[in-house]
Each structure stands twice: as C-alpha cells, then as structure tokens.
Amino acid sequence: MTVSFEEAQRHIQEYLRVDVSINTIRAETQRIGDLQAEREKQWQAASQDLPNLQQREREAVVRPKRLYGSLDGAFVPLEEGWKEEKTVCWYEAGQRYGSAELRAVNLNYYTSLEEASVFGELVWATGLHHRVDQAAELVFVCDAATWIWKIIEHYFPYAVQIVDWYHACQRLHAVSETLAEQERAPWLGAHQSRPVGRRGSRSHPNTSRDVQQASLF
C-alpha cells in the first residue's frame, strides 16, 4: 500500500486535527527513512561479525518461546518504472483488545527494493535484531514464491514453514494432477479442509516428491 504526501496530509488533519504542510511531511519521511537505513546498516554489519555473534549467543539467558516471520513482495511505482518491493515482518502471537483469539502482535516491518539475494541479508540482520535465531520455535507463514523459501532455507533451515491457506488452496489442483485420476477428488476433498504441510502429506507416498515437482513451494 502506498500513500501520497497529499493523502498523508489529509489523514493527519482528519485523525489528529493538525495541519502539516506537504513539504514537512516529505522532509520528515526522508529523515526517518535515513535514520532507519543507518540502523539497518549497523544491524547488517553486526550480523556478519562472528565474535559479536558468539558473544551474543553466550550472553543469551532468556530465550523467546515462539516467534513468527512473513515475507512477501509487491510491485510499486517508481520514477524509473515499476519494481518489486520485498518486505519481511517479524511478530509474535498474542491476545489484544481483550479478545481471546490469538492475533499477530508486536509487528515489525522492513522493506527493500534490492534483489532477493541482497534482501536475504536484510532478513537475516533484522531477524537477529529481534532474536528470532534464539527462539525455541521459529515459524514462517508466507505465500508460495520460490525466492521466499530459498531465503528461509538458507538462513533459517530449522524453522517451521507454512504456506498461507489462501495460496496453498490455489495450488492444490496442480498438485492433484500428479496423482492417479481416481485419487484426485478424494485427495482434494481431504486437503481443501486443511493446509498441506511444507514437506507434503504422508497420506500418499508420492505427495512429498510430487509437491516439489509441481512447484507448490
């Protein structure tokens, strides 16, 4: 989602009852962006510093129980044309606003216009900043884009990997085509009511291999 400076000005006036000029919004956006870029640069340097990583591990006393990550990409309009903006979000699951249901809480977003390999370094650095590597369990919930899972496999091979329900359902028919014709309908019926795991269902001996061949992940 992109918001123009003009639209941001309207939102500020509507919700905060404060009049702020477009030039001020533009200048503050640039200033905060520069500060964040500098922080991320420092985190990336620390994430490649082996003595720092070893000391960090030795000093870890209380470790997070479970943390979550999600990666995604979306094309955004730039002066030079459209380009894919890649985003990682680190978060926890908890209750909020008095609700008993678990929701994503303490969300932290980081974005980049770089290629996937460079973006992976940002994912690693921001992940270390939020101590995801020290969590007892790390869970990724993402879509089925190949570049996403390559980053996760490279930096966090021990993590639980979940394809979100919406994108998993889009690929079930393609996976079912790898089965014998008489097996397709029962398989679809069973799996449309529950997601297929990262390593495939054990209900059919060929599913794990065929999922990979069908490019579900």
**Model confidence pLDDT, tens digit, residues 190-217:** 877 665 444 443 344 443 443 343 333 3
The total number of structural domains that make up the chain: 3
With respect to residue 86, please indicate whether it lies within any of the assigned structural domains.
yes
For the whole model, what pTM was predicted? 0.76
With respect to residue 55, please indicate whether it lies within any of the assigned structural domains.
no
N residues, the chain: 217
Q: Running DSSP on this structure, what letter comes out for residue 108? A: E
Q: For residues 103-125, give the mean pLDDT.
A: 95
Give the pLDDT of residue 38.
Answer: 97
Give the pLDDT of residue 22.
Answer: 94
With respect to residue 54, please indicate whether it lies within any of the assigned structural domains.
no
What phi, psi does 145 have (nearest 5°)?
-65, 130
Strands 66-78 and 81-94 turn out to be antiparallel
Question: Per-residue DSSP letters for 153-171?
Answer: HHH-TTSEEEE-HHHHHHH
Give the pLDDT of residue 199.
Answer: 42
Instruction: Answer with the residue of higher pLDDT: 42 or 164.
Output: 42
pLDDT confidence band for 171 (50 / 70 / 90): confident
CATH at residue 109: 3.30.420
With respect to residue 53, please indicate whether it lies within any of the assigned structural domains.
no
Are residues 31 and 100 located together in one domain of the fold?
no
Q: For residues 181-192, give the mean pLDDT.
A: 83
With respect to residue 20, please indicate whether it lies within any of the assigned structural domains.
yes
Q: Measured between alpha carbons, how far is 12 from 137 in angstroms, rounded to an integer? A: 39
Are residues 148 and 182 located together in one domain of the fold?
no
What rounded mean pLDDT belongs to the chain?
85
Q: In terms of residue numbers, what domain contains 181?
A: 166-213
Give the pLDDT of residue 49.
Answer: 94
Question: Per-residue DSSP letters for 48-97?
Answer: T-HHHHHHHHHT--S--SEEEEEEEEEEEEETTEEEEEEEEEEEEEE--T
